Amino acid sequence: MLAYVSLALSLYALVTYLLRGAPAPPEVDAEAVPIYMRAPSQGYAPAFPTHGVKGAVTCEVDVCSYVGAYLLSKGGSASDAATGASACVGVMHPYHSGIGGGGFALVKTNRSEPVMVDYRETAPEGAHRTMFLNRSKEEMYHGGLSVAVPGEVRGWQAMHALYGRLPWADLLQPAVEIARRGFRITPQLKFSMDTLGDKLCEAPRLGDIYCPGGVMKALGDTVRLPALADTLEQIAVQGPDAFYSGSIAERMVATVRERGGIMDLADLQRFRVLFRCAQSIDYRGRYRVWSTTAPSSGAVLLSALRTLENYPDRPYDREDVVQTHRAIEAAKFAYGERTRYGDPAYLSNVSAYEHDALSEEGGRARFAKIDDTRTFPASYYNPSYEDSGEDHGTSHLNAVDATGMAVSITTTVNLWWGSLVQTPDGILLNDDMDDFSTPGTPNKFGYKPSRANYIEPRKRPLSSMSPLLIESLPSGETQLIAGSAGGSRIITANLQMAYTYLSHYGRVDMQEVIRHPRWHHQLMPAETFFEYGIAELPDVHGYSNVTVAGLAALGHTPAWIIPGYSAAQAIQRLANGSWATASESRQLEARGGAV
């Protein structure tokens, strides 16, 4: 069940927050508080606007967007802003992402083609495809064996080397300050704590932070992370190598092995960031849509868009039964293709599969199989009858600067709170080994595991992460930087956001688009999930009963879900050339920052 609620906000947290309102301003001189901490989630009026001409940042928590905006105001690049914001999210929302995880970035400089930066975690050298066979779910999700080699810090280093303007230490300074000074618990953080409950309180080191004396902290209470502050400061002063060798690395390996894991120092020291060519499709001769390649799921997103391009050119209305039916069917075919994807270093034909899926011929072939009057059994969309697995919680952020550099990043520690293994240095480690497939373990729907995603030493697991960027074909200028968090729901959230933008020719308010109700279908289970409206989130629309009944009549099996299973963020270029941030309305503390 946790996989299905990886980003959902609890009604308890929502109601409590709304009844209490924003936290009262701290009883300190506001001038003594860093400008990036003067945010609504911390009890202050917004320190940064949501629109700007020099650049902007969006992520899941206002303080971290402000960290990025602050770095832009100091002359930093979009890459600098993205790194600073990422470090901040790892401090304030460590259950989603942080230096114990990894991810993918899509980076575009001025009018150059975007580049994919792959710092996805890797399997340790001692890993093998049957290592989780006959083991409990607990061993797969939590503990040392679930830990893959973290890539986050190396990813930041690689981007800074190519795209950075500020000194390296400046990028991490805000995160150090926030961790040391302390911050107020946000509704998202509180819900993640409540969801894990006793497991969090009983976890070594984590329990001491979030459940002092055995009592879980409350919404609005202050959290301080001195050990993580010291670690980030050491990485800032000594450089990224401090994470991958020396005492921090030694204690990391010792902690993992104490908890039954196999990662060693050599695994950390051999980790490498990979720069890959991003992939794109031209959409109706007006736009070029970019995303990332395998082992991410950018091809899945672009495949669905390529299919939908074959329909009549008119704006997408999510309450239109036939249009939404077509979008869901396109997504199901794309999810069926996803079972063929994996780490290209271990599968020689992945690039060819992606090329075929994104070709105009591939789009037309899928279009020809969609029937406006009915749906089909799952095997119709996935003849191999394989399951590529489901990934879980993530964070997404976007940044753009005055030079036109744009960055879209999705990063993760996988399940909420990752492996539950925290080192003495405050590093919460991922459980991304769970993202691989294991032979002989079909899912509960009878689909066999994807051979393309079996565990191998140094391999990177398949991910739903699919950061995206849309540029104008005539001018080459970036028009939209966007992406989502939410595990396997990332792809459909990104699809609905991108398709709406493209079908309206960019003449939409992306903040309003994010408020639209979302559907989700990942082929298996054979259900279509629809968000319903709730009074506690008046800005988030729910699907109408009429639309859902119309889709049910076409053969869809509907299931209603509370808003919050996915979380989208975007930055949109306006007609006057300025930048407008659009933050997830389902996350109460999400707000963009611009300069």
435 annotated to a ligand binding site: yes
Asked whether 374 and 67 are in contact (CB, 8 A), the reply is no
Burial class from Cβ neighbours inside 10 Å (0-12, 13-18, 19+) for residue 522 reads buried
413 annotated to a ligand binding site: yes
H helix runs in 54-126, sequence order: 62-73, 78-92
Asked whether 389 and 439 are in contact (CB, 8 A), the reply is no
154 annotated to a ligand binding site: no
412 annotated to a ligand binding site: yes
Q: Name beta bridge partners: 222.
A: 184
Asked whether 229 and 87 are in contact (CB, 8 A), the reply is no
How far are the Cα atoms of 42, 136, 336, 479, 490 from residue 228, in angstroms, in the given order?
20, 31, 41, 37, 29
118 annotated to a ligand binding site: no
Question: How far is residue 357's CA from residue 352's CA, in Å, rounded to a whole number?
Answer: 9
Question: How far is residue 509's CA from residue 243's CA, in Å, rounded to a whole number?
Answer: 41
57 annotated to a ligand binding site: no
User: Which residues, 6 or more positions from 210, have their beta carbon under 8 angstroms from its beta carbon?
Assistant: 193, 200, 201, 216, 217, 223
Q: Which residues are catalytic?
A: 394
User: Sheet of 274-277: strands edge to edge?
Assistant: 274-277, 115-119, 102-108, 406-412, 395-401, 55-58, 593-594
- Of residues 4, 64, 22, the one with CA closest to residue 590: 64
Query: For 377, which DSSP code?
Result: -
Peptide bond into 525 cis (omega under 30): yes
How far are the Cα atoms of 45, 407, 413, 469, 594 from residue 295, in angstroms, in the given order?
41, 19, 16, 18, 32
Question: How far is residue 43's CA from residue 28's CA, in Å, rounded to a whole number?
Answer: 12
Positions at the binding site: 120, 412-414, 435, 463-464, 487
Positions at the binding site for L-glutamate: 120, 412-414, 435, 463-464, 487
